[in-house]
Amino acid sequence: MKHNLLFLVSLALSAVQSLVFAADRLDRRAIVTRHNVVSDSAEMTVPLADGEFCFNADGTGLQTFAGSIFDHRGWFAVPLPEGRTADDVPETGTFQIGRNTGPDVFPEGKADLFEWMTDSLHRMNLGRIRFTHGDGTPIAPDEITGLSRDLDLWTGVHRAEWTFRGETVTVVTAVGADASVAFCATSPALASGELAVVVDFPYPTSDEEKWAGRFDADDLHRTELVSQERGLTRLERRFGESAFGNFDYTVCIAGDGKVKVSRCGGNAFLLAAGGERLDAAVSFGDLAPAGRPLSSEEEESFAPAGAPRPPAAGTPPSYFEGARRVSAARWEAYWQKGGAIDLSGSTDPRWFELERRIVLSQYLMKTSASGSYPPSEGGLLSLDQWRGRFHMEMAWWHLAHWFLWGRADEADRPLRVYEKFKEPARRLAAQLDMSGYQWQKCLGPEGRTAPWTGNQVLLWKEPHPIFFAELDYRARPSRATLERWADLVEGTALYMADYALLGEDGFYHLSPVMPPSEVGFASDTAYDLAYWQLGLRWANRWRRRLDETPNAEWDRIARSMAPLPKGENGLYLRTADWPVWKEWEHPDLIGAFGQFPPLEGQDPETARATLGEVIRRWDWSRCWGWDFPWTAMAAARLGDPDLAVDFLLSDHERNAYDGRGVNTGGPCPYLPGNGGLLYAVAMMAAGWESETDAMSPPDPPSDGVHETAPGFPAEGWRVRWEGLLPAP
């Protein structure tokens, strides 16, 4: 009896402890699902993705009216211009020799190469899966009525319902494993043969309207039917001599026992249901970056290649149900780890919209910014004017937030680009008579930058690896982290020290420079001066952590960088070369006040006054989506949390977020705005450090829910958060 009583007491105590623990955790599912994407739009696409592979679904649940299929491994190049060979293409992306003196000039007589290098490599649309009439002809938008759709963020499953010729159609869609998308459609229109599904393939181009690529160019590519076995159809996509390199890949279509797959065009295949239910999956698992065989390192980096296997004899499996389970497990694990923010206790009526942007930004960045490469501005949502390539300077906006949100592992794969491209970066630096690694500008998987006038002098991309290393060490302080980044920090700092020139005034100067705003060429831009000082100081701190002797030259340069330029009114300028502000594009001078901790020689009162003047005078209609969280960071760090929130939610056109939560503050779906929002909000909630020379990272916040948020106003806002880390 005594033992039973002790057992009951122990059980009761355990129950109480469980209740306390549960009460001390945010209800993450409630936070996430109250922002599920619900819409009646037929053409708005939403990404269903695993970080590497992305199926953009329209309102029908497939891609009937819009949407492309992208993968971080899927790249294409058009044929070289007539008379040109691969030897004519500079491996570093520039013909320039010797130290920078200004813009990167492309030689005369090579306009055809300039055009080809601008266009190749570009991201390729792997295919399109859409509902059609039973004979494979397109469905017109007005043939579909009563459409409703919702994306369950907690599971990544999209559900759509609509009416076609008087019959209800229900479609559920999910991305499974091995670069596959599965769907289950039910309708009497499928049984009658009035409705079917077509899988077709384009010739890859860098143009995009509703779908990327040309679906009317069957003479430039072919799709071979390799085999059909127990509901599994294997196809091989071949481009032959129409492409520069080998970009062939395999596609597998798997359907239940009633689904019949037949060719209905040069590169199109029709799926007939044979009943009211069509359960199928399409896999693009056999892809290699830039059409190459995978190296051993890439084999580890990429998701396992493969395809659905032929089902065993007997009752065919539900391909959708398998994908649904994979998707649900993937997304629940994602939402349960790392940080979370709950704003529902706030009285400021704007809380719901800000929380919506936070939740949807987390979903979007997982779909596009956790794969083998950093995303382009449009991520895996679309092609863009950069052909789907990513920018090294924008990697910060796409990836830095992962560390503050306690999801450092999500940054591991895309940040491997620094290791992949450090040898080309070394060759580029040597070609320009510099030491170390000069990081490239606009890249695809081949590591050759696309040509552009500012490639060599847009300097703010250079210190990013040092910043990423610091974020990683704060999240995972270990010898392994120090050694992982050691060579990258060293090579980056060597280049930075080489670029800074000692002037007769005893200060080190940066020239030439194109500031982040890209509004011209100058010298000693405020943002770059601050970033150079910070980067070199942190690089020497890295050496001290490794028990290595600090580099005396780096220390000397960091302590003697030219002071931030000021105008006659005593406020900071972008550069002394421009005494009159150019009040458009990125207000980059304020980046030094918020993105970075206070640096030597920086006056906080002057910084506050400069921020106020920027806000009053800037043409915010000519800015970009990440300028608003950038400004919010500065406002928070300079002690104005009301202004920080106001800027995150300002009603400027470039600060808009659409029904999917995508920032539209650029020429395409603009994910730097989403990534910037996540970094700013985490910083505003968990705070920031002001010490730039501390050898050890700050202790992480204690477990449980926190309600102290120094970057938010006390009035009207109740910010409950967990799992976040403070910013440097």
Pairwise pLDDT comparison (584 vs 506), residue with the higher score: 506
The two tokens of residue 319 are 């391909």
Specify which residues 224 forms β-bridges with. Answer: 236
User: What letter represents residue 34's amino acid?
Assistant: R
Q: Please check the confidence at residue 311 and state whether its pLDDT lies above 60.
A: no
The two tokens of residue 628 are 């608003």
Over range 462-477, report the average pLDDT: 98
Please tell me whether residue 340 adopts helix, strand or coil conformation.
strand
3-state secondary structure 602-660: CCHHHHHHHHHHHHHHCCHHHCCCCHHHHHHHHHHHCCCHHHHHHHHCCCCHHHCECCC
Predicted local distance difference test score (pLDDT) of residue 5 = 41
Burial of 80 (0-12, 13-18, 19+ CB in 10 A): middle
DSSP string, 120-155: SSEE----EEEEEETTSPBPPGGGEEEEEEEEETTT
- How do residues 661-708 score in pLDDT, each as one tens digit? 999 999 889 999 999 999 999 999 999 998 878 899 988 889 999 999
Pairwise pLDDT comparison (24 vs 293), residue with the higher score: 24
Alpha carbon distance 447, 443 (integer Å) = 6
- How do residues 146-168 score in pLDDT, each as one tens digit? 999 999 999 999 999 999 999 99
Q: Please check the confidence at residue 116 and state whether its pLDDT lies above 60.
A: yes
Beta-carbon contacts of 450 under 8 Å, excluding residues fewer than 6 positions away, are 93, 117, 118, 386, 387, 389, 441, 442, 443
* Separation in Å, CA 218 to CA 123, 214, 215, 333: 19, 9, 7, 42
Predicted local distance difference test score (pLDDT) of residue 584 = 84
Which of these, 372, 456, 460, 447, lies nearest to 413 by C-alpha position? 372
Predicted local distance difference test score (pLDDT) of residue 241 = 66
Alpha carbon distance 482, 622 (integer Å) = 41
Over range 435-441, report the average pLDDT: 98
Alpha carbon distance 527, 542 (integer Å) = 22
**Residue 616 backbone phi and psi in degrees, to 5:** -70, -35
Predicted local distance difference test score (pLDDT) of residue 582 = 78
Look up residue 230 and give its DSSP letter: T
Alpha carbon distance 173, 159 (integer Å) = 7
Q: How many CB atoms lie within 10 A of CB 375?
A: 31
Angle of helix 627-637 relative to helix 641-648, nearest 10 degrees? 170
**Residue 574 backbone phi and psi in degrees, to 5:** -60, -45
Please tell me whether residue 17 adopts helix, strand or coil conformation.
helix
What domains are defined for the chain? 30-77+121-335 (2.70.98.50), 337-722 (1.50.10.10)
Q: Please check the confidence at residue 317 and state whether its pLDDT lies above 60.
A: no
Q: Please check the confidence at residue 187 and state whether its pLDDT lies above 50.
A: yes
* Separation in Å, CA 403 to CA 52, 340, 398, 469, 727: 19, 13, 11, 10, 9
Asked if 438 contacts 431 with a C-beta cutoff of 8 angstroms, the reply is no
Q: Please check the confidence at residue 571 and state whether its pLDDT lies above 90.
A: yes
Over range 328-336, report the average pLDDT: 97
Asked if 454 contacts 514 with a C-beta cutoff of 8 angstroms, the reply is yes
pLDDT bracket for residue 591 (50, 70, 90): very high
Please tell me whether residue 688 adopts helix, strand or coil conformation.
strand
Helical ranges in 506-600 per DSSP H: 526-545, 552-559, 591-594
- How do residues 515-549 score in pLDDT, each as one tens digit? 999 999 999 999 999 999 999 999 999 999 999 99
Asked if 561 contacts 529 with a C-beta cutoff of 8 angstroms, the reply is yes
Handedness of CA 466, 535, 692, 645 (dihedral sign): negative
Q: Please check the confidence at residue 22 and state whether its pLDDT lies above 80.
A: no
- Of 11-20, 587-596, 601-610, the range with the lowest mean pLDDT is 11-20
Strands (E), 423-531: 442-443, 501-502, 508-509
Q: Reduced to 3 DSSP states, what percent helix, strand and coil does the chain have, rounded to the nearest 5?
A: 35, 20, 45
**End-to-end C-alpha distance for the chain, whole angstroms:** 58
Q: Please check the confidence at residue 11 and state whether its pLDDT lies above 60.
A: no
Predicted local distance difference test score (pLDDT) of residue 318 = 82
- 587: Cα within 13 Å, side-chain hemisphere: 29
* pTM of the complete model: 0.93
Helical ranges in 369-445 per DSSP H: 395-399, 401-404, 408-415, 417-420, 422-431
Position of tokens 């009114």? 569
Alpha carbon distance 310, 352 (integer Å) = 47
pLDDT bracket for residue 245 (50, 70, 90): low
- 77: Cα within 13 Å, side-chain hemisphere: 25
- Of 262-266, 288-292, 437-441, the range with the lowest mean pLDDT is 288-292
Q: How many CB atoms lie within 10 A of CB 403?
A: 26
Alpha carbon distance 685, 341 (integer Å) = 8
Please tell me whether residue 706 adopts helix, strand or coil conformation.
strand
Percent above pLDDT 70 for the chain = 92
* Separation in Å, CA 679 to CA 129, 344, 595, 673: 35, 20, 10, 10
pLDDT bracket for residue 244 (50, 70, 90): low
Secondary structure element (H or E) that encloses residue 357, with its range: helix 351-368
Average pLDDT of the chain, as a whole number: 91
Alpha carbon distance 670, 27 (integer Å) = 29
651: left (phi over 0), alpha (psi -120 to 50) or beta: alpha
Asked if 720 contacts 342 with a C-beta cutoff of 8 angstroms, the reply is yes
Q: Please check the confidence at residue 29 and state whether its pLDDT lies above 60.
A: yes
Alpha carbon distance 60, 291 (integer Å) = 32
- How do residues 347-386 score in pLDDT, each as one tens digit? 999 999 999 999 999 999 999 999 999 999 999 999 988 9
